[in-house]
């Protein structure tokens, strides 16, 4: 059986590696689903998404020198123009709640102007430079003390 590029086929996961999963297709051919093609979200460990023996639907991306490249995330039907990232729920993190609490308590501080930031940077830079000069001036002269 010949594998047609762009077609969606069913297969069975036969092996999992740190870089992806091997899927046996109908007809006995085996292809690789790279870790980046397993899911829409970031995949740190393929084992969290797939198990050996699991039936999956894959899309054939390419076939070169007998190596078949497959994708699980591209096999999922989506309305046209809708990216895979829009399927994700909004990110909930600790920063979301902190910023709401911060503003609600009346502690909101207006953003610093560029000039203020530049003045702070220059002051800190000059202090660092002067302390560096102070520390290196006492250490000059090399090894072995004075020569005379």
Same domain flag for 70 and 112? no
Distances (CA, A) of 99 to 67, 89, 92, 102, 104: 50, 19, 12, 5, 9
- Asked if residue 60 and residue 99 are part of one domain, the reply reads no
pTM (predicted TM-score):
0.53
Maximum mean pLDDT: which of 4-8, 32-36, 95-99, 130-134: 32-36
- Are residues 64 and 116 both part of a single domain? no
Q: Are residues 18 and 65 in the same domain?
A: yes
- Each residue's pLDDT tens digit, 25-78: 988 899 999 999 999 889 999 999 999 999 999 999 999 988 999 999 998 876
Instruction: Give the span between the Cα atoms of 143 and 141, in whole angstroms.
Output: 7
Q: What is the number of structural domains in the chain?
A: 2
Q: Is position 81 within any domain?
A: no
Quick check: is 60 in a domain?
A: yes
* pLDDT score recorded for residue 26: 85
Q: Could you tell me the residue range of the domain that residue 127 belongs to?
A: 91-137
């Amino acid at each position: 059986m010949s594998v047609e590029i762009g077609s969606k086929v069913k297969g069975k996961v036969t092996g999992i590696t740190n870089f992806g999963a091997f899927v046996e297709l109908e007809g006995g051919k085996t292809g690789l689903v790279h870790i980046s093609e397993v899911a829409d979200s970031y995949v740190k460990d393929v084992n969290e998404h797939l198990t050996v023996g699991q039936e999956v639907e894959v899309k054939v991306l390419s076939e070169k020198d007998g190596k078949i490249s497959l994708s699980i995330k591209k096999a999922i039907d989506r309305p046209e123009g809708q990216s895979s990232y829009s399927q994700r729920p909004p990110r909930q993190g600790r920063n979301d709640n902190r910023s709401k609490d911060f503003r609600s308590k009346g502690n909101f501080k207006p953003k610093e102007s560029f000039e203020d930031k530049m003045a702070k940077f220059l002051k800190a830079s000059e202090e660092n430079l002067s302390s560096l000069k102070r520390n290196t001036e006492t250490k000059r002269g090399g090894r072995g003390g004075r020569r005379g």
